[in-house]
Amino acid sequence: MDLMTWTYLLVGASFALYIGIAIWTRASSTGEFYVAGGGVHPIANGMATGADWMSAASFISMAGLIAFLGYGGSVYLMGWTGGYVLLAMLLAPYLRKYGKFTVPEFIGDRYYSQTARVVAVICLIFISFTYVAGQMRGVGIVFSRFLEVDLLTGLLVGMGIVFIYAVLGGMKGITYTQVAQYCVLITAYIIPAIFISFNITGNPVPPLGLWGNVEGSDTHLLTRLNEIVTELGFAAYTSGGKSTIDIFCITAALMVGTAGLPHVIVRFFTVPRVRDARSSAGWALLFIALLYTTAPAVGAMARYNLTVTAWPGVAASTDVGSAVTDPQNALAADAIPDWMKRWNATGLIKWEDKNGDGRIQYYNEKGLKPEVAQSRGWTGNELIVDNDIMVLANPEIAKLPNWVIALVAAGGIAAALSTAAGLLLVISSSISHDLMKSTFAKGISEKQELMAGRIAAAVAIVIAGYLGYNPPGFVAQVVAFAFGLAASSLFPAIMMGIFSKKVNREGAIAGMLSGLVFTMGYILWFKGIFITPVQENIPANWLFGISPEGIGFVGMLLNFAVAFLVSRVTAAPPERIQELVEFIRSPRGAGSATHH
């Protein structure tokens, strides 16, 4: 069968599965809508958590970043996996023991303040919409390429699917849908990686292939890749590229951001007991590790395929220098492969024959000396490749079977939709449960609250679709901003709420607002997401050399500092709140959760 038929078949079958599960597990109460009735098995919850957390950033964009950043991309691997250790050890069991539906509900009760609850909702909405923008961009990329529709049509289809199973099924439908989506996305990620690793290195295990030799030679894959990219003016693949302080701050922001993400934390309210929350965090880490141990190999091999396999004459040559630098080995403009033409239609890969030699040269203009480029007759880089296409395009570049390429499309959509659904549910529950039921419309019935949650989810889907159509950056970059916002706003408030009896409502509110405003302002200043940037986004202008992706760590420190300082000069929390903190921290009653 041709690629289009395979794509419609596999993507259509996955959609039918998701919708069928949503109908089968339709939520009939607010408990099922918000936390799936609290009866999900730890292994199933771990799988759902993995799908919820492994978003389009993990599936589509992370290996693309690793492909172009090389060693520097490891910050995403370290931060996003390390955060789960924090989450499992410091937050999940305590929040589950407290036994509330949402993070703002915990913050509102712990800090005995409706204002604190509303501030937490505001922080949560900023985080969730920033995050969901990245997911919807991922949905648009996959649909526009593999279903060969324009970006808007692809987004509308994706929004429709999410609407059905998020609005209808609630958390109960989403949980079991995400179990299916995890199975789809992990299969779609690993199978192409096995094919490509075997083709390049002769080893079918991608992590081992990464450290092996190129098939048919005694040259190490990474050594070969370093030689090729440096000849083209790029930094060596195994070089760092970032300052030590920036690597530390990005990794730390991603770690604490993971532990502060509301759509991940709410997962631990869906299991029956406190020990199940800790267990499901362990299972989630195992399921996540399957993808994250494969991602470095996928990234490196994608870069190798782009610069070698896709360019006639390079792979066959033993002389790397002549293979790359000889203009005769550049890609002939009249021999553009089909995969490039297909991706060109999406606007995510572009080329232009600047010197009129009938060939396409790919190199780094800033890294290659002008006299060297001039000696080769090159007048500028002629190929632009979007980071976010590398994982999706890699099977096409490697000329894998059509069913494998279609499987990757289904996996990319599963990754984006699973996280988008979790985020949208968190937004809707915050609006219906934390703002309406608990603050502004306390008299509404459970049925009215359930309807309000569904309406809020529908509105959120529309806003998310708009953000996906006008995204502020690469998928992983946008998601990194969301993690920074979570790290600087919600994480400190939750941590202090569990482990400190001295932090009061005034401190928590001031801390959350200062962390959120500082981090959001820094990102807007340098990235110009919604406004025209007034500073060049270069390291020399960054605070202490810390990039916008890592500034959330500084925002977190600011949050802690402000909260403790304000708490010292204002009244201590009431005795009952201090006793509540003792109760949450106590191991007694670890087998059950108590509502307060």
In CATH, what number is assigned to the domain containing residue 77?
1.10.4160
3-state SS string for 56-73: HHHHHHHHHHHHHHHHHH
Q: Which residues pair with 213 in a beta bridge?
A: 220
Can you give the residue range of the structural domain that contains 116? 3-301+398-469
Handedness of CA 321, 323, 324, 326 (dihedral sign): positive
Q: Under a CB-based contact definition with an 8 Å cutoff, are residues 84 and 285 in contact? A: yes
156 occurs within a structural domain: yes
pLDDT digits (tens, 9 = 90+) for 356-411: 777 777 888 888 888 888 887 788 888 888 877 888 888 888 888 888 888 888 88
269 occurs within a structural domain: yes
Single out the residue of 51, 460, 107, 455 nearest to residue 264, CA to CA: 51
Q: How far, in Å, CA of 268 to CA of 270, rounded?
A: 5
Single out the residue of 429, 485, 478 nearest to residue 456, CA to CA: 429
Q: Under a CB-based contact definition with an 8 Å cutoff, are residues 375 and 327 in contact? A: no
Res. 329 pLDDT band, cuts 50 70 90: very low
Length of the chain as a residue count = 596
pLDDT digits (tens, 9 = 90+) for 167-204: 665 566 677 778 888 888 899 899 999 999 998 888 89
Q: How far, in Å, CA of 165 to CA of 331, rounded?
A: 46
Q: How far, in Å, CA of 193 to CA of 187, rounded?
A: 10
Residue ranges of alpha helices (H) inside 212-273 are 221-231, 244-259, 262-265
Q: How far, in Å, CA of 145 to CA of 260, rounded?
A: 33
pLDDT of residue 313: 35
477 occurs within a structural domain: no
% of the chain residues with pLDDT over 70: 82
512 occurs within a structural domain: no
3-state SS string for 141-205: HHHHHHCCCCHHHHHHHHHHHHHHHHHCCHHHHHHHHHHHHHHHHHHHHHHHHHHHHHHHHCCCC
56 occurs within a structural domain: yes
221 occurs within a structural domain: yes
Q: Which residues pair with 351 in a beta bridge?
A: 383
Give the residue carrying structure tokens 């919604």.
530
Q: Under a CB-based contact definition with an 8 Å cutoff, are residues 295 and 289 in contact? A: no
Res. 315 pLDDT band, cuts 50 70 90: very low
Give me the number of domains the chain comprises. 1
Q: How far, in Å, CA of 133 to CA of 209, rounded?
A: 34
Strand 383-385 versus strand 349-351 pairing type: antiparallel
pLDDT of residue 441: 66
Q: How far, in Å, CA of 335 to CA of 312, rounded?
A: 10
Highest-confidence range of 76-90, 461-475, 550-564, by mean pLDDT? 550-564
Res. 437 pLDDT band, cuts 50 70 90: low
171 occurs within a structural domain: yes
The token pair that represents 444 in the structure block: 């509404």
Give the residue carrying structure tokens 């990620």.
189
Reduced to 3 states (helix: H, G, I; strand: E, B; else coil), residue 220 is strand
> Residue 170 CA to chain centroid, in angstroms?
22
